[in-house]
Each structure stands twice: as structure tokens, then as C-alpha cells.
Amino acid sequence: MRENGGVNDNSRGQHGGEIAGRGLGHLRDLAHLAPDDLSRRDFIRLMAAPLALAGVGAMAGCPSPREEIIPYVVPPELVVPGKPLFFATTMPLAGYGIGLLAESHMGRPTKVEGNPDHPASLGASDVLTQASILSLYDPDRARTVTHRGQISTWSAFTTFITGELAARRESGGRGIRLLTGAVTSPTLLAQIRAFLEQYPGASWHHYEPICLDAERAGTRAVFGRIVNPVYRFDRARRILSLDADFLLFGPGVVRYNRDFAAGRRVHLQGADAPPAASMHRLYAVESTPSITGAMADHRLAIPAGDVERIARLTLAAVRGNPPPPDDPHAQWVAAMADDLLQHRGSALAVAGPWQPPAVHAIAHALNAELGAIGQTVVYTEPIEAAEEGDLASLTRLVNDMRAGAVDMLIILDANPVYTAPADLDFSAAMDVVPLRIHLSESYDETSFRSHWHIPLCHYLEMWSDARAFDGTASIVQPLIHPLYQSRSPHEFMAALLGQPEADARELLRRTWRDRAPDPQQFEPFWRSALERGTIPDTAAPEVQVSVTGDPLAAQPPHPAPADGLELTFRPDAGVFDGRFANNGWLQELPKPITKLTWDNVALISPATAASLGLTSGDVVTIRHAGRQADAPVWVQPGQPDNSISVQLGYGRERAGRVGAGVGFNAYALRTSGAMWTARGVEVVPTGRRHALACTQPNQALGGRDIFRVYSLAQLTGEVAEEDARKRAGHGRTVHLSLYPPMPGSQINRGHAWGMVVDLNVCTGCSACVAACQAENNISIVGKDQVLAGREMHWIRIDTYYKGDRPAADAGPYFEPMLCQHCQNAPCEYVCPVLATTHSSEGVNEMTYNRCIGTRYCANNCPYKVRRFNFLQYADHTPVRRLGYNPDVTVRTRGVMEKCTFCIQRINEARREEKTILARGGQDARARADAVIDALQTACQQACPTGAIIFGDLQRPSPVAALRDQPHGFAILTGLNTQPRVTYLARLVNPNPALPTPHRALDHPERAFHEEAKG
Amino acid sequence: MAQLFPASADHLARALIGAAVLAVASLFMIGGAITRSPYVTLQDVPLDQPVQFSHEHHVAGLGIDCRYCHTSVADSRNAGMPSTKTCMTCHSQIWTSAAILEPVRESWRTGVPIAWQRVNNVPDFTHFSHEIHVNTGVSCATCHGRVNEMPLMWKAASLQMQWCLSCHWDPGPNLVPPEEVFNMDYRPPPEQAAAGRERAASLGIDPYQITRCSTCHY
């Protein structure tokens, strides 16, 4: 994949093989010429005086700058300058909440982490939650109330709206329409109901572009009522995904990642006798490559319209009717169905939200047949209050608007002008409405067409509540006073209800006072809800379901039309449905599969691309039902033939300075009849090219030993045997270095930090990338700079495909790559100013204020993990500066940077350890050790699957045990870099009855350099 | 043709070369001396403050503990500067009309904080924590000098890296018993260095570790 014009391969990739052994003897001859007693440190010391002189000359002898200290007048409670505080809060996304702990430095939120007590998080987080902190400091957020585009005030609005509503009271508010996104907040729901009671003629509509309509309709079809499935992936031994991307999207995505990993993780206990390891087996049927498909042991890529056929065959096979032998997937389905049947009670089928209700119904029926209900899936009362589907609700609204029945449209935190299906032509229908009011975070496409726009608070600025995927309610607690004149939805609704100055916190307390188990004991209940971040016993009650409908009785889908292609729509891994388009971290986040930034594309299979004469970066016109959009194509292995896939959320007109005009608008092709899958689509090359900023142009493994895949059988067989042989003394330990070994006295004193990345549970979700960006003040650089290979991420997730060119049948495999903290670090030897050195605890240090920017270190790094500030990338917009982590230097132009193992967290933990020891007292040693054991890097803390394990190798820590696993390996050990980051091989658990594309890679040299592991 | 230079020119040339070397060397030395001088470091230079606050009076005269005002010194990297409220706990009762305290009362009335001139400023790109130093036994006086003898505050040490490292390489002489950390009048016994080294060892404080770059620069 080198077609994407202009991408510089220089700064990445693995060029290791050529470096080893080049000109070594020559260098050794030169070595003795250097005076033994003049180390580089001495040289620097000698040079200090001239440098000082130069400094004095340059500064003309300026004394140190004067600074002021501004103390508080009255110190706020709890705030200790220099110590962050953590508050439990909740991030609502498309209505559903995920519990968070937000870090506050003297009143400024700087980072969010998952809340270990919240069922949707369990302490982890995902890309969107990690990046949400940047949206708070987005300088393009709406700042004031506007009326017809002119600056206005909240009180002007409330006066106005009170009058307008009073005039409509007599008619019962017949022309009033309220449009929201998905609502789970009990307080908001109560307010909406109160509003509808006051204005019985008004009606409430709801629409989410990434809606769960099909899921709800599917449960109704098979169980006779809408229920909410809650999956228990940790209990599932066999999983069938029917075009579901449950590892990247959905209200329970973080929890599902964790549960999924629990059933997949293989850590052998006791190195001498590996017991029978076990892990689940995932079958993925999918219409476009997803991270869920990438984790699958067997993956079937078929067009989205064919998924129902496979689902039907599977259900029939499970019921004892084997698939017709002439079906091309008969063997696959038969073997899979047989495997599912053998795991009755621990098998699970999941359908994706982009599949029609029929597929959902079949998945639920499969779960019933397989005895999964109550085991691997439980059904609860629905979380969203709405009975009606989102699309139906929006269509009804548009029809009313067209008919002129609407005289006041109130839109709460939704952007339908941009997200509504194109055939509804929402903006034209909306323009008919005489009064349009919009509440949203930024002045977007819908705001532009509204008379009034009210800025909406960021979730870290407001009081609210939300329910999680399983119904658990939690409080959205503000961390900071609103930066602008923004209002929460509750304050807005209260204004509509005639209480313009209502306090959102009081409204919230009122909701929960009514629901507290003992209203007399409300204060302790409220306090504990705020502290823990969840409200106990609020999970949706489980529902006993029984199958009432037979999904196979319904008409099978029409076969695909012979001409034309299939087009599928997906949310974007970064900007989601478009609401995060102005978030630079998410724009620059390499998409998990394609590694593209700053663009959406039309994914197309290599064969289809060849037949159309297309290569990556060619712009095509996609035509469907009289609508068209121009999109760059991206040739993606694993994409089914004759099906192209586009991502929603791009092509925003009014997103802000970052997001406006980036990518193409796929909503322009989306119609209410084809919300997720369109057929008979025409693709016409335009002859134009579009530069696509991909961070990893070469994704082929090409036989290089940088990623390892073993089958489960191999792990317990040959891998374990080889490991045992090595342990018995057959592995050689050779000191291979130009340089004398580091004296034992200089390393591993006190602590020895190390990391293990378990590739078997890394799902490539990229939460670590976003978390690292937030923790370490990492800049974004923009598309042009990414094209020049200058992105700044300290941790990236490399994707690899088997073989010399990306092949569809196996992969991508995900490999997080960060500074490997080599014990023989090539970067350290070449730094002329000792800006990168080695700590006594094994960390490769980077001293920014010493760096003069020669970039020798980056050139000498075989892992290509060093990042250079070619330009002044750091954003010093005043509001952005509020959000920087004060514990980490903000780097300027000309400085090299890279992963530090979160040295700020290490230092904080070490200081705390020593402080506890110094203060003494009972169990001081144990308490100090507990601090060290609890230390987590930002990537590790965010990782929803626990794939990143960090800690002190000298303690009996998990990381020390995992470094010793038989399937552990280090990367490019042939260079004798001796990394402190090691990996556990990816494992596959193929069905013996099926051919497997995953083949363990041969590593003839494997045994030789294994000492690097130690 | 007569020789252009007499024989003595050799000596002159040698002398000039020597002088040039000396001149360059002395320039370096002067440069070094300036960067280390109080002119640049502001060491020993009392600063004007909005309120003529005397540590000598409050510490030596009244016996107020450091932590009464610098509340977080043992718990956080920041020692903590007293809020106006802290001043007013006493000065709403005593010296209530003293002209010198007008800025304090004004701050209390208006809610505008007092803007103190920073005396001790750790160089940029350096992370420093009071918590770890105070708890392990570095006395306040080690870095801040005999504050109880300062009518106006001045910087007692250069706060340059060389000065930091002088202690980090050998913390022994400066690690006093924890109960003496805030005692300005504490005079270490002659065997302080040995006792301090023993204390450092018992806490796992490793001079090699605390002189690595990333201890302070990150």
C-alpha cells in the first residue's frame, strides 16, 4: 500500500535487518583513540563555560525573570496546590453513560480515567472518553446565546420563550415539537414528560444517527417485546459475531472489551509445566474489516446483504437442518454450527446494529436454541424510554414539519441537519418551521438554521445523570464552572417549564430524592452516589423472555441485484457520528484498521478495485438513488468483493476550525430506506487523486520476526517444549555489543520498570493512543505534517498482515509500539549532548531542555518511536492551556520526545513510597510497596482489555511473571537492544474442522537472542 | 633584503599568543562568574514585596511554625502560600489598623489576592517536590537559609543545577532527624554526615538514582 502519494516511509517501518553488523570492526578500531579518561559527561562539563559565556552574551546578562505567586484569598475546601483531586462523573455518549474519574488540578480537569466501580467501565476507558477532555477546551465551542446569529443573552431567551409558550398554552402546545438524541437520563426524561403534560399537544421525537433501532425491532420480533440484551462475553466459550463490532462501538463497548479479554487471555501458570490452556473461539461474519473481525479465529467476509443468509443457515443448522451442500459457505456454517452446539450454554451469537431486525431476531433465536439466555446473555428492561424507533420518530417529525403542523421546533443536543437521512431533507423541512431553537455545544449546521442557539455545557461542566448499557444510573458531576454562557439540558428544559433560573443540581437531587430507598436518609445516599460514581440497585431488572416468533418463518431477503455494488455505512472510529469532528486528537488518531488520519474513505476490496481500475487515493463518485458523493477509495484487504464501506461523521460544514471541510459527507448517500446498507450503487472514477495521510504505509509482515502468532495447540506443545529446552541450559547467552556492558552497579537499583504487551488480547481499539496523548500533552500536527511522517503519538498500534503484501485471509494483527526502553539503547549512544540517557531503573530518559534537535537518536532508533517537533506544534491557545497536564513539560519546536513510561507517574509513586517509608509507622514497608504495585501508565490504565501490563520487574509483580511466559518475545532482539518492553504472542484457537488462515510464523533464529527477554 | 622581523619578534609572538589564550580563558571565567553571580541568580538579594512581611518577626519573634502558613509543604510538591484568610486569622484581631497591613485588608475586602514576588524560583523544565525533601529530612534552612533571621526574604541558594546536585550526590550532610526539619535553630552534630547517610540508606535513597536526569526533568 504505497499508492497514497507522498507518504514518507522514512520515519517508520522496521529496517532493523540491515543495521546489525555494519562496519563494526571499523568502529572498534576507532574506539581506542578516544581518551579513556574523557567521558562525554566530562566533555560537556568542560564545554559548560563557553556555553555559559554564549548564554550570557545572548541574554546580555539578564537576571532570572521575576515571577509572582498568587495565593488564594480564601482557600477552597480539599484543594492542596500540587495535588490533583479525582471526582466521579459520567460521560454520556449517544444517551448512554460511562462512569469516569476525572482528574482536577486546582479546578482544571486535565484527564479522565475509567471508574472502577462503574459497570460500563470497570476502570478502563475508550478513545472517545479519553479524547472528550479536549472537547472541553475546544476554542470553537459556542460561547454565547445567539438570536438570528446575533449575540444575545440567556435572560433574553427565557423572556422570549416564556412569552411564546404562554401564547401556545391554550392550544395545548399543538405545534410544539421537541427533538432529542437518545435519552436515558431519568431527570431529563422526567422533565420531558412534565413538558408533555403541560403541553399535551406537543410531541417528543428522538433520533440518533448511530441508532439501535434494529436491535430493538429484532427483540420485539422474536420475544414479542422490546428488551435490552446484556452480553456476558467472559462466560462465552464460542462466540458468533454477525457483522457486530462489539469491540469498538456500542453503549457497553469498554465492558465488553474487558469481558472478551477475560475469555481470551492465556497466561500459563508455572513455567515448568504448562497446563492445558484454554481460550474462547470467535467466529466473525462481517461486511467490512473491523477490530472484532481482526480478533476472530475464523472470519468470513461477505457483503452485508448476505449476512442474513448465513444467519439463517446457522440457525437452521443448529436446529438440525444442515446447509445445502451447494452453498459456497456450507462447510464453514456446518462446522461453526456444530461447534456452537457442542458448547450449549456457553455459546453466544451477537448481531451488529447495522444489520436488519431479521438478523437480530435470528441471533436471539440462536441464543435461545443454544441455551445462552441467562448464561452468556441476559435480557433486561429497555434502557431508553422510547417505544418508537429513532428513524420512525424522525420521519414522523419531518412529515409534520412538511405539513406545516409544526410552529415551534426545539432541538436538544442533536444535529439533524447534518445527520438525518438525505431523503428526508431535514433542513428544507425545518426551514418551514416559524420558530426553531437549538441547544448544542458548538454552532453547527443545525444551529445555523435555527433562530435561537443556546450553548450546551460540556459534560464536565454540568449536573446530569445517565444510565449505562445495563441500566445502572450514575451522576454526571461537574468538574468546572461552565467556561462560557452554556446551559445544561436540565436548565434548558426547566426554562421551558417556566423555571428559567432553576439549579440543575437541585433538579437532579429532586429526581433522586424520589428514588432513594429511604428519603429520610437521602443525604448519605446522595453523597455515596457522588463518591462512588454509581447509584446502587439501579441496573435494569432482568426479564424472562420466551421465543414467540420464528425468524425463519419470515421472508428471506431478496438476493442482491446483479448489477451495481453494495454500500455500507459505519460510524467512524474517531469522530463517531460527526459530533467529535472538531476534536484534533480524534481526527489525528490513526483508524484502527486502515491507519488513516484526517479523512474518511470508501473501503474497497483489492479485487473490486482491480476490476474498476482503482488504487488507494483515487477519487470516485458514488451514486445511489439519485444522490452522489465524491470519496477517495482505500484498497482494504479483508473487505468483501463488490461491497464498499464508508464512514459517517466527515464532511462537516460547520464543525469548527479543525473539523470543517475534512473528508466527505457520507450522510449525503444515506437514505431512510437504506440506513446501513444500500444496494445497486454505482462507482465512477473521477480521475482525480486525494492525498490520504496514513501513518503506516507498509503493513506487510514479509516474513520478519516482529509479530508472532501461535495456535493454542502450538503454545502448549512445541513452544512450551522449546522454552523448557532453553531453560535447561541450551540457550546461549552472548554479550553482543560494541560497548562495555553497563556496570551492574548502575542499573536496576531500587526498581526496574518493565512492560509486557499481551498481543492476544490487544484489540487495536487505540484507547491507549488517546490516553497517552491526554496524559503527556502530545500535540496534533495536522494532515500535511502526518503526510510528511511527522505525527507525534508516543504509542502507536502497528497493524500487520501475513506475507509480503497485505492479504485478506489473516490479519490485521495489532501490535502496540512504543519506546522499548532498551537496556542497550541505540539512541543513547548517539546523542551528542546527553539529552537521552539511561536511568538507574532501566528507563530511557529524555531531557527536553538539553535536547538540541540533532535527531541522531531518532535516526538510530530501530523501532522508530522517537518523535521530533519539526514545527511549533504545541497549542498555546489560552483555553487549551488550561487542559495541559501540569506534571509534563509542553515541548516546543526543535525538541525530540518519546514515551517515558509515564515518568511523571513513576516519580510521583517513588516519592510517595519514600515519603511513607520516611514517615514510618505500622506496615510502612507494605504500604510503600502497595503504592509501587498500584502504579499504572496512562496507556495501561485506559486499556479496556488489560493488554498492557507495567510494573517493577524486581518485585513479585504480574509484569515480572508475564515476562517469563513461553510465548513471550521481544522485537528486533537481533540488534541486541535488550528492550524492557516485551510481548506475548497472539494466539489463535482455530476449529480443527476448518482450514485456518492463521499459520504460526517460523522463527529459525528465535532461540538465539532470547537472553534479551531477561 | 633585511629581515622583516627582528629575533625578538618571536618572543612578542609567543607573548601575544599566550595573552590571547589568557584573554579567551578569562572571558570564559568572567562569563561563568556572571552566570553564577547574584546578578543573575538573585541569590542574597532581598525583594520588595507588596507587604513588608518579616519572617524574622513571625518565626523568631512569635515562634510560628513554618507549616502554619506553608500548609502543604509536607504533603505536596508545592509548599503552599498562605491565603489572605490565613493572615486575617490574626490580623483581624491584632494590628487591625496598621498601615503596613492595608494591602492584606484590601485583599480581604475586595477578594483580589495579594501578588507576592517569587523569591525562590526553580529553573524552568525542572520538577521539584517539597514533600519528598521535607519528609526525608532536608531541613527548610538547608535551601531557604536562616529564614528566622530574614526581615525581608531573599534567596539563600543559587538554585542552580550544580547546587542541587551537590546534595543529591551526597545527601548525608543534609538529612537531619525528621523532628528537626522545621527547627531553624537546629545545629547538626559533628557526625551528621554519617547519620544522614545511614538514614538515606534505610529509606532506599540512592544517590545514583536521584542524580539521573529523569528524577527532575520530565
Residues A853 and A992 in one domain: yes
The contacts of residue A659 (CB under 8 Å, 6+ apart) are A575, A581, A582, A583, A587, A652
| Residue A157, helix vs strand vs coil | helix
Report the number of distinct structural domains present in chain A. 5
Suggest the residue from A69, A85, A891, A904 to mutate for an interface test with chain B (most B CBs closer than 10 A).
A69
C-alpha cell belonging to residue A207: 433520533
DSSP string computed for A449-475? T-SEEEEBPPGGG--EEEE-TT--EEE
pLDDT of residue A23: 36
pLDDT of residue A1003: 43
Residues A341 and A428 in one domain: no
Strand partners, A681: A565
pLDDT of residue A47: 60
Suggest the residue from A73, A845, A887 to mutate for an interface test with chain B (most B CBs closer than 10 A).
A73
Residues A725 and A789 in one domain: yes
Q: Exposed, middle or buried: residue A418 (CB in 10 Å: 0-12, 13-18, 19+)?
A: buried
DSSP string computed for B67-97? HHHSTTTTTSSS--PPPHHHHHHHHTTSSTT
Total count of residues recorded for chain A: 1014
pLDDT of B214 > 50? The answer is yes
C-alpha cell belonging to residue A905: 507517574
A47 touches chain B (CB under 8 A): no
Instruction: Please give the C-alpha separations between residue A973 and each of A442, A824, A825, A826, A961, in angstroms, as whole numbers.
Output: 50, 11, 12, 12, 20
pLDDT tens per residue, range A969-1006: 999 888 888 899 999 999 988 898 888 766 544 443 34
A987, A715 Cβ separation under 8 angstroms: yes
Q: Report the CATH number that the domain containing residue A645 is assigned in CATH.
A: 2.40.40.20
Residues A858 and A1007 in one domain: yes
DSSP tag of A112: E
Does A82 fall in a domain? no
Q: Which of A936, A890, A886 is nearest to A909 (CA)?
A: A936
Q: Give the range of the structural domain holding residue A568, as residue numbers without chain letter.
A: 560-694
Residues A885 and A798 in one domain: yes
Strand partners, A631: A620
Does A436 fall in a domain? yes
User: Side-chain half-sphere of A677: how many Cα atoms within 13 Å?
Assistant: 24
Does A483 fall in a domain? yes
Residue A36 neighbours by CB distance under 10 Å: 6
DSSP string computed for A598-612? S---EEE-HHHHHHH
Mean pLDDT of B78-100: 93
Q: What is the nearest CA distance from B143 to chain A, expressed in angstroms?
A: 18
- Chain A positions touching B78 (Cβ under 8 A) are 80-82
A473, A186 Cβ separation under 8 angstroms: yes
A334, A366 Cβ separation under 8 angstroms: no
DSSP string computed for A860-908? H-TT---EE--S--S---HHHHTTS-TTSPPP-TT-EE---SSHHHHHH
Residues A478 and A573 in one domain: no
**Final residue before a domain boundary, out of A359, A380, A401:** A380
C-alpha cell belonging to residue A630: 465524491
Residues A864 and A914 in one domain: no
A846, A897 Cβ separation under 8 angstroms: yes
pLDDT tens per residue, range A515-573: 888 888 899 999 999 999 999 899 999 999 988 888 888 777 777 666 789 999 999 99
The contacts of residue A632 (CB under 8 Å, 6+ apart) are A599, A601, A602, A616, A617, A618, A619, A620, A664, A689, A690, A692
Q: What is the nearest CA distance from B215 to chain A, expressed in angstroms?
A: 7
Yes or no, beta carbons of A75 and B208 under 8 Å apart: no
Yes or no, beta carbons of B213 and A837 under 8 Å apart: yes
**CA end-to-end distance (rounded Å), chain A:** 36
Q: What are phi and psi of A645, to 5 degrees?
A: -130, 130
Residues A596 and A569 in one domain: yes
Q: Report the CATH number that the domain containing residue A162 is assigned in CATH.
A: 3.40.50.740
Render the burial of A188-215: b for 16+ CB within 10 Å, e for the rest: bbbbbeebbeebeebbbbbbbbbbbbbb
Q: Which of A53, A7, A5, A14 is nearest to A865 (CA)?
A: A14
Residues A194 and A235 in one domain: no
pLDDT tens per residue, range A764-795: 999 999 999 999 999 999 999 999 999 999 99
Residue of A nearest to B176 (CA): A918
**Single-letter amino acid, residue A133:** I
Question: What number of H helices and E strands is found in chain B?
Answer: 10, 1
d(CA A32, CA A47): 22
A410, A178 Cβ separation under 8 angstroms: yes
d(CA A161, CA A491): 13
pLDDT of residue A94: 92
Q: What are phi and psi of A464, to 5 degrees?
A: -165, -170
* Radius of gyration for the alpha carbons in chain A, expressed in angstroms and rounded: 29
**Final residue before a domain boundary, out of A380, A401, A427:** A380
d(CA A146, CA A443): 9
C-alpha cell belonging to residue A214: 434494529
Residues A765 and A630 in one domain: no
- For chain A positions 50-89, those within 8 Å of chain B (CB to CB) are 50, 52-57, 61-64, 66-75, 80-83
Residue A1010 neighbours by CB distance under 10 Å: 19
Q: What is the nearest CA distance from B194 to chain A, expressed in angstroms?
A: 17
Residues A664 and A719 in one domain: no
Q: Which of B51, B48, B149 is nearest to B91 (CA)?
A: B51
d(CA A800, CA A971): 14
Does A458 fall in a domain? yes
Helix axes A127-136, A767-775, angle to 10 degrees: 30
pLDDT of residue B161: 92
Does A321 fall in a domain? yes
Q: What is the nearest CA distance from A101 to chain B, expressed in angstroms?
A: 21
Residues A355 and A448 in one domain: no
Residues of chain A with pLDDT under 70: 1-64, 270-276, 560-562, 728-748, 803-809, 997-1014
Does A918 fall in a domain? yes
- Chain A positions touching B40 (Cβ under 8 A) are 56, 61-64
**Single-letter amino acid, residue A340:** L
Does A81 fall in a domain? no
C-alpha cell belonging to residue A257: 472489551
**Final residue before a domain boundary, out of A671, A694, A717:** A694
A939, A771 Cβ separation under 8 angstroms: yes
Q: Which residue has the cell 566533555?
A: A43
Residue A475 neighbours by CB distance under 10 Å: 26
Yes or no, beta carbons of A918 and B85 under 8 Å apart: no
Q: Report the CATH number that the domain containing residue A768 is assigned in CATH.
A: 3.30.70.20
pLDDT of residue A40: 59
d(CA A125, CA A458): 18
Q: What are phi and psi of A118, to 5 degrees?
A: -95, 130
d(CA A650, CA A598): 9
d(CA A853, CA A856): 8
DSSP tag of A675: S
B171 touches chain A (CB under 8 A): no
Instruction: Please give the C-alpha separations between residue A254 and each of A120, A278, A755, A864, B94, in angstroms, as whole numbers.
Output: 6, 23, 22, 30, 59
DSSP tag of A9: G
Q: What is the nearest CA distance from A784 to chain B, expressed in angstroms?
A: 29
